[in-house]
Structure 1
């Protein structure tokens, strides 16, 4: 290997089939680990340029511009502090002599050491040029460390060809390491590196010898029938699925596409069918059965109705796929028959009869059973219903049935269908449409950007469900901490805030929490969390508003008075934004901040202004204008016309400026001083009726 050679480096580890859900993580860690470690040794010329390859049977990385030997390095090494290295006569101490000998520098002269400060202490330093890292040695170290650091979900122990016991994610069969055309002599997992690999398990039945590292991917594609690049393989699958769907809609979750791409090396797509009689089962059950158990892709018509056809991605491309198609159709038949059985059995017992059995299901050992949870949910929901104009009977019924499907065979098999199956079963039982819909919708929003519950009944039950969870879980001391939030309390909080904001629900957050906490009266272990939760909700609210494009000072302006009603916040924020664009805004915001500071320093402020004590023209003018515009502001405020309120208040600018220019607030006469403070208090109250304008400064 030439000392100055720069070539492409290829490392491939050939294994038994790797866990599909872990493949990308393993491949990323393998590639990134090797690149980072080799780059740290100066073996990669320029900015690292590499490709990560991952298939069910291999982890590989191709790194370009890799040196055989890294350049010489200038090293500055601290030897010893001067106080230890030299004696009182300035001669080397035994400690220095021993240190230099240990470094192989026993003959080094004192003058060859650099004397410099190390912080506040003077020390000896050695400056020298050392050889750069050698690829074979550095790669061996990097390979050992990288393999030891892989995020392996479950380790297997097996015997390597040399008889040693090896622990790895799956048994490894070959190690390929090429630098250009040269084999790099490294070993790992009981394997010595070579230049051979294997292609597709079925479509390529011989060893493949690689002449150089640059032809890795192309050779395996052409000779081995393996698409080594994960992203390329995934997009080929996507394209083939669309092609074979022939215009039908494909249920194409990205997670399923990733998993299937991790299961095949040379994908082939085939169209299969199942008995249309199964379409009597809710299509969500059939789709989930095909996706979860068999990794199939369901097809629907233009209206979203499931078809009795599906697509399978096989690892075997053949011109005679009849056996593959028949085999997959036979397998799916049994799976769909199970789903049909679950559905039919569940339908035999109405939800209302299943609900009492929730008493046998533990919700949390400190919070009782799921039935007790449902009773609390029902209490909270029926308390909220009148406030939102909802039908209390429908709300109570929906709350009572909301969790009953947790006992069903279908949800036991597919927990993802909780709520969805409740809606189907409620429809089957003849429950009112709003009740059935609430069984599904009360889980919404399930994630950021998810749809909100559609009906008022669903909204009430959804609020109650999230409030019960927040108050109960927080009340037993399980508040979120750092990145730990096992009960998804942050998501529940955002769900509550989104419903109140986006549906403009006239609800008081503090009262909501108090009402919810009251339902835990029989559980003394639940400690009152209302104040902490209110602060938590406000913190989540700040984040939510920032995500919607509002600036921090706008948000603080409307939240600084700690409002517990937030349904009108969007209107207040828009008003603040309009006000901030007015030419009068900066001066009024600054004046508002000045007034706030003055009033904070005052120990006593009269409640009302006494006109007879107004002596200066500026204060008389300001008071007169305040009295003139107050009725209009109050009318606009009552109508929630917040933009009009702030535009009206902007008229005060001239008189406010004149007041501060010409009037001494802290007059020596206490009566005048107190009256002027009262005037400022009246002005402050009016100016901040929509938002704290002082927050708009700076």
Structure 2
């Protein structure tokens, strides 16, 4: 007989941006716990709204425990048969081995396809206890950074739990979850439907909740309703709304339980405000969708989603329009106030804003960024004056009324104000772009000056925080230094910027003039950057051991590093990699044992065999050739030459005795191998790789 198992956890409002993730975690934890309890099940469906997490396990097989599976091979089975042992003896012997009490009538033991197994039929109270344990464990393991406590108990969950509904078919699973007694009552919409809904059977969910409670508990169904509604509304007003991969669609799906899509408008005069301000007010503050035309120009409309059925939609639309009007009126006021002064006039006032009490003010930071930007510009043959000018204005917009009122517009406001003041387009654009990348996978700055400013600002922050020993620890990274490091690395690598990272760190550290050993601080920061570089490439699928072995050489040129990494990453998948790895290790093990090797300059007059003479000639040819290839970054060609060399070395091993009695001959042959080892490891020490 097949069953349906259902559980719903009614909570206070769950974090909207993590609702889908939490629901999937919960469902997966239920699946894992059912497996641990040896409860066979098939399909699992998850449901989630702002005030509930639910899981429905469809087609649950008869509740029982499967245990102690043992495969009896045909050979062993034949021995039993040949010995004439009755099946009862075979079963008893097997049961003793696995501590199965077959005498008890509630156990069933049988052989099928030469397998022995048993299952224990369970009493109802045992089933209920087991299912409660499954739910408890699943809830405790549901991931979240911050948990809450409530009531008098010591229970912890993402949000306080108010109701627990657990049914097995039409039976309530008796028990207690997090101090709350289980029942068959589920809560409806806050403002619509019945206050409490009695769930008669697990199969009635979620249809009964939709019909009587006006709650669409299926997350994907709500999302589709929102997307379809937006498309229909946009078609009527002749606009465009980006809903693919939209964070706002996901967030609104998590916030509402009965979505209805409406459209409002605002006065066209507000379109004179910077686009970023309109998007900040409409999308981020009010959680509405902005509407554009085909050219991505904003239109005086917004689309929003409500959570209640209403007979007077006009009143609701007017209410939202009033709020938007109020917000945009404030923005226009601040924008007009800011237009009275130039962006540069805020510069002296940065001295009143503390960046860090141990490091100094934002004005101090600005001066350091100016010097660092000038140095980077010189290294890249960029326009020094523009780099310095962009750095000088970079923090000024933080004191503008617009940014104080709408913090997310920093950078974008600086760009608009710089354009208004007649700054060059490159300098103006850098005010916005130096904030990129803001998060993982974000876009990068477009212009060279923007890249220079972005690098200078981030490395200055890293150097300053490291100089006062406030390093990132565990999950704690209050100054976002890891993100800053990844930003620097991404810009240099993906924008193909030839910049010596070690020199950059030293230049940045020197600007602080602290009493710490600069050499120690530089090494510490470089180690930190190397660690982030490893993470960056590991996330792209590269081998960690290859990354770290290449990093042993230096961190001078990241463009060269990536080229070397790509070549070696692909080479490690070939048979040639294994051959060079084994050979390099063999050569190393031989030369390391003899302390008498003084150099890798073997003498030609001490060569006795044609094999060692051929190796001698090849080594001297390659010494010049590989050095030249290394300078030209011809790494694939180097590997090809090393594979050719490996054949000569193997021939040498086959025909030449190395550890001879004659000291001169032995040392000369070891010197030959020492030179071979140096060439074999000119690109990477293969013996260090797994």
Q: TM-score, normalised by structure 1?
A: 0.77
For 2:410 and 2:588, the matched residues in 1 are separated by 53
2: CA distance, partners of 1:197 / 1:574: 56
CA–CA distance in structure 1, aligned partners of residues 13 and 452 of structure 2: 49
Greater CA drift, 528-537 or 327-336: 528-537
The answer to whether the aligner puts 1:231 opposite 2:216 as a matched pair is: no
Aligned residue among 233, 236, 241 for 1:250: 241
State the distance in 1 between where 2:137 and 2:540 align: 44
Q: Indicate if the aligned counterparts of 1:279 and 1:306 stay in contact, CA closer than 8 A.
A: yes
Unmatched tracts of structure 1, length 5 or more: 75-127, 159-165
Distance 1:284 1:379 in 2: 30
Q: Decide whether the 8 Å contact of 1:268 with 1:315 is kept in 2.
A: yes
Measured against aligned partners, the alpha-carbon deviations of 1:297-350 in whole angstroms (never above 9, x if no partner) come to 111222222221111111234565222222211211111222222333333332
Report matched runs for 1:537-552 at 5 Å: 537-552=529-544
Tell me which of 495, 503, 524 is aligned to 1:503.
Answer: 495
Matched, 1:515 2:504: no
Residue 671 of structure 1: how far off its partner (Å): 3.6
Question: Residue 270 of structure 1 contacts residue 325 of structure 1 at CA under 8 Å; is this kept in 2?
Answer: yes
Report the 3-state secondary structure (helix = DSSP H, G, I; strand = E; otherwise coil) of the residue aligned with 2:216: coil
CA contact (8 A) 2:41 2:61 kept: no
Conserved? CA contact 1:356–1:371, under 8 Å: yes
Match of 1:687 among 672, 675, 680: 680
Shift of the 451–261 alpha-carbon distance from structure 1 to 2, 3 Å rule, reads closer
Q: Is residue 2:201 matched to residue 1:212?
A: yes
1:467 paired with 2:444, answer no
1:439 matched to 2:431? The reply is: yes
> 1:41-120 alignment to 2 at 5 Å?
45-47=39-41, 50-58=44-52, 60-64=54-58
Per the alignment, in what secondary structure is the counterpart of residue 390 of structure 1? coil
Residues of 1 paired with 2:473 and 2:522: CA distance? 18
Q: Using a 3 Å threshold, how does the CA distance of structure 1 residues 375 and 528 change in structure 2: closer, same or farther?
A: farther
Which of these residues, 407, 418, 421, is aligned with residue 426 of structure 1? 418
Distance 2:576 2:161 in 1: 73
Provide the secondary structure at the position in 2 that maps to 1:648: helix
Report the alpha carbon displacement of residue 132 of structure 1 after superposing the two structures with TM.
Answer: 5.8
Structure 2: how far apart are the matches of 1:447 and 1:340? 29
Q: Distance in 1 between matches of 2:485 and 2:4?
A: 52
Pairs within 5 Å for 1:341-380? 341-380=333-372
Using the TM superposition, name which of 210-219 and 553-562 deviates more: 553-562
1:621 and 2:610 are equivalent in the alignment: no
Q: Secondary structure at the match of 1:529?
A: helix
* Larger deviation, residues 18-27 vs 263-272: 18-27
* Cα separation, 2, equivalents of 1:358 and 1:638: 47
Q: CA deviation at 1:283?
A: 1.3
Q: Classify 1:563/1:655 alpha carbon distance in 2 versus 1 (closer, same or farther; 3 Å).
A: farther
Contact 2:41 2:59 in 1 (8 A): no
* Equivalent runs, 1:523-538 vs 2, <5 Å: 528-538=520-530
Count, aligned residues: 632
C-alpha distance in 1, partners of 2:607/2:135? Answer: 85
Q: In the TM superposition, what are the counterparts of 1:216-615 in structure 2 within 5 Å?
A: 216-246=205-235, 248-252=239-243, 254-318=246-310, 321-522=313-514, 528-552=520-544, 554-556=546-548, 558-576=550-568, 586-603=578-595, 604-606=597-599, 608-615=601-608
**Distance in 1 (alpha carbons) for counterparts of 2:240 and 2:423:** 32
Asked if the contact 1:363/1:369 (under 8 Å) is kept, the reply is: yes
Distance change (3 Å), C-alpha of 1:617 and 1:140: closer
In the superposition, relative to structure 1, how do residues 134 and 428 fare at CA in structure 2: closer, same or farther (>3 Å)? same
Determine helix, strand or coil for the equivalent of 2:213: coil
Report 1:87-236 matches (<5 A): 133=125, 179-182=168-171, 199-204=188-193, 208-236=197-225
Q: CA deviation at 1:202?
A: 4.7
Cα offset, 1:521, TM superposition? 0.7
- The Cα shift of 1:65 comes to 6.2
How much is the aligned-residue C-alpha RMSD, in angstroms?
Answer: 4.2
SS in 2 for 1:262: helix
Shift of 1:289: 1.0
Relative distance call for 1:140 and 1:579 in structure 2 (3 A) is closer
User: What's the CA shift for 1:222?
Assistant: 2.9
Structure-1 separation of matches of 2:584 and 2:175: 73
Aligned counterparts of 2:620 and 2:178: Cα–Cα separation in 1? 87
Q: Is 2:628 the partner of 1:635?
A: yes
Q: 2:226, 2:261 within 8 Å by CA — same for their partners in 1?
A: yes
**Hey, what does 2:637 align to over in structure 1?**
644
Q: Partner of 2:559: helix, strand, or coil? A: coil
Cα drift, residue 201 of structure 1? 4.7
Report if the CA contact (8 A) 1:237-1:313 is conserved. Answer: yes
